[in-house]
Each structure stands twice: as structure tokens, then as C-alpha cells.
Amino acid sequence: MSKPVIITCAPTGGIHTPTMSEHLPITPNEIAQASIEAAEAGASIIHLHARDPETGRPDPNPDLFMQFLPRIKQATGAVMNVSTGGGLGMTMDERLRAATVASPEMASLNMGSMNFGIFPLLENFDTWKHDWEPKFLGMTRDFIFPNTFATIEYALTELGEKHGTKFEFECYDLGHLYNVKWFVDKGMIKPPFFIQFVLGILGGAGAELENLQFLHRTADRLFGAENYEWSVLGAGRHQMPMATQSVLLGGNLRVGLEDSLYIERGELAVSNAQQVEKARRIVEELGRRVATPDEARERLGLKGGDKTAF
């Protein structure tokens, strides 16, 4: 019997911009509301970024995170996962700040430096709500998303060792799995750990079933299937197809407006919960069930919601 499916929802992220969808949560209030609804719909983990409430620009300020983290915690049992990917162009210090202040059960950790091209989104719009949006997207033509061994080690020590925070290891390509393996061999990553395969980002592996199967097989070989949990996020139009493939292969899934603004081809999602509900229907139609937050905690070896700083 396959295990229950851990659904992660990433409600806002740092890639999409306000012009692209009026449903993208921006203010702490909107992010809290969207997260609570997503948890009620079946998400056991909420992956969080913050934005400047005026402009919608990704913002690393811990004060913003502290406006929504306690509210979500109070209203749901969900696991809070604070992004250390932040927004493209932030320093590593900025990216780690909110998680260091909040001491969450989970934080994301991107497992390799890479091209991260979101400039093709420029072609979809002629006018923008804010000046920063086209500049932000355009700069990714000549941008490397830095995640060096030194910065990964720093996050593993500062957050992992000192705060007991566990990670969503975001792996966009084969080499990233070998980077995880290097830290496993050093004893700095210990089972059970959580791998998020990120497919369909320009700069990483494409969102194709063969890639997912190969990455999954490689991870099983490197780590041993019993030592880790895995999940998939497909970017943009690949979101639900990749989620479905993961359910079929026995894995977990991530949805949310961070990864795709759509619910169907050409139809914007009106909320994060709408995507979670759809994912849940897929899970249940395919004969599995959705994991509760406590089941996720147990399988991922998390420290517990009572041990955070919010």
C-alpha cells in the first residue's frame, strides 16, 4: 500500500508578479488567508515567502513573515516551511534571515547554483502594474541563482544544527542529488530527509516523466528508499501532470500559485485552495489518501510545531 500523499502548498513564492494574476497573495493578511484555506483543503505543509505589501516585490523582511506565521499556526495544524530561496537577486544573508528568526519546522534549501530564467514571462504582458516587475524578470537572462557548497553548509549548520529545522531539499537536476549525497556522506544531512524534485524551470531539468523516473531511481540508489521522502513540483503548465505522475509513482506533491498561476489551460486559479482541492481529487481518484500534518511530521522527522519561535 502506498503511503498517504504529503501535499505541500506554496501560496505566493518569489517568481510570479502582481500583474500576472490578481489572485496572487501579496499582503501578510492575504498570505495568511490563502495558507489557511490551503491547509483546510488538505495541504499538510505550507511553503512560505513574503512580499512587500505595497509593491508585491519578494521581500526577505522577517517582520513580514512574523505577521502571517503565527496566524497560520493558530488556525491550522499545518507544518510551516520558510523559504531560503527567497527572491532572485537577494543575498544569502537576506534569504536566511526569516527562517533564522522564525526557527520553523522546515525551510527550503536549493541544492545547486544554476541559471534560473523567468524572462520568457516578459512576452505575455505589454503593461505592468509596477516598474520593478519587467526589470526583475528581465535580469534573469544574465543571472545565476547562487547556492554554493559554502552557503548550503552554512544553512545546514545555522538552521539545521542550531534550530533543528529540517529541509525541503530542492533539486532541479541530477547534479543536485549528488550535492545532497555529499552532505549525507559528511553526516550533515541525516535521514529521514525530504527531496523536492523541481521540474520545468528554464535552467533545470524539463518536466518530463522520464526525467522524474530517472531522478527518483537515482535518489533511491544514492540514499536508499527507506531514508528519504520525495515530492515533485512541476512549474507552470506542468504542475498537475507532474503531481499526478508523482501520485502514480508513490511520491508526494507540491502545488500553489508560486509554481503555477493556473487551474486549467488558459484559466487562472482563483485561489491556492482551488489547486489543493484539485490535487486532492487526483490523489483520491487514484486510490491514495492525503497525509495529515502529523503524519507528515512523523515521516519527515520534524521537531514539532511547539518548538518554533512564533
Q: Which residues bind ligand KMH (CB under 6 A)?
A: 10, 13, 15, 83-85, 108, 110, 170, 198, 201, 235, 258
Which entry of ligand KMH, Zn ion, none binds 201, CB below 5 to 8 A by partner kind?
Answer: ligand KMH
Specify the residue, 188 or 202, whose C-beta has the smaller distance to ligand KMH.
202
Residue sitting closest to Zn ion (CB): 83
Tell the smallest beta-carbon distance from residue 111 to ligand KMH (Å).
10
Q: Is 83 in the site for Zn ion (CB under 5 A)?
A: yes
Category of 125 on φ-ψ map: left (φ > 0), alpha (ψ -120 to 50) or beta: beta
Please report how close the Cβ of residue 284 comes to Zn ion at its closest, in angstroms: 26
- Identify which of residues 84 and 272 has a Cβ nearer to ligand KMH in the complex: 84
The rounded distance, in Å, linking the Cα atoms of 287 and 51 is 37
Q: Which is closer to ligand KMH, CB of 17 or CB of 110?
A: 110
Cis peptide before 28 (omega within 30 of 0): no
DSSP SS3 for 61: coil
User: Smallest gap, in angstroms, from Cβ of residue 143 to ligand KMH?
Assistant: 14
**Which C-beta is closer to Zn ion: that of 13 or that of 25?**
13
Cell of 248: 502514480
Encode burial over 140-166: b for 16+ CB neighbours within 10 A, e otherwise.
beebebebeeebbeebbeebbeebbbb
What are residue 67's phi and psi, to 5 degrees? -85, -25
Q: How far is the CB of 196 from ligand KMH (least distance, A)?
A: 8
Cβ-based nearer residue to ligand KMH, 198 or 269:
198
CB nearest ligand KMH: which residue? 85
Dihedral sign for Cα atoms in the order 144, 56, 198, 223: positive
| Total residues at interface with Zn ion (CB under 5 A) | 3
Q: Find out whether the peptide bond into 192 is cis, omega within 30 degrees of 0.
A: yes
Q: What whole-number distance in Å separates Cα of residue 5 and Cα of residue 101?
A: 30
Between 141 and 221, CB nearer to ligand KMH: 141
User: How crowded is the C-beta side of 128, counted as CA atoms within 13 Å?
Assistant: 18
**Which does residue 110 bind out of Zn ion, ligand KMH, none, counting CB within 5 to 8 angstroms by kind?**
ligand KMH
DSSP three-state, residue 258? coil
Phi-psi region of 285 (alpha: psi -120 to 50; beta: other; left: phi over 0): alpha
Rule CB under 5 A: is residue 81 a binding residue for Zn ion? no
What x-and-dash track marks residues 10-49 binding Zn ion by CB under 5 A? ---x------------------------------------
CB of 13 to ligand KMH, least distance (A): 5
CA distances from 251 to 162, 196, 272 (A): 30, 10, 21
Q: Which is nearer to Zn ion, 115 or 248 (CB)?
A: 115
Binding site for Zn ion (CB under 5 A): 13, 83, 85
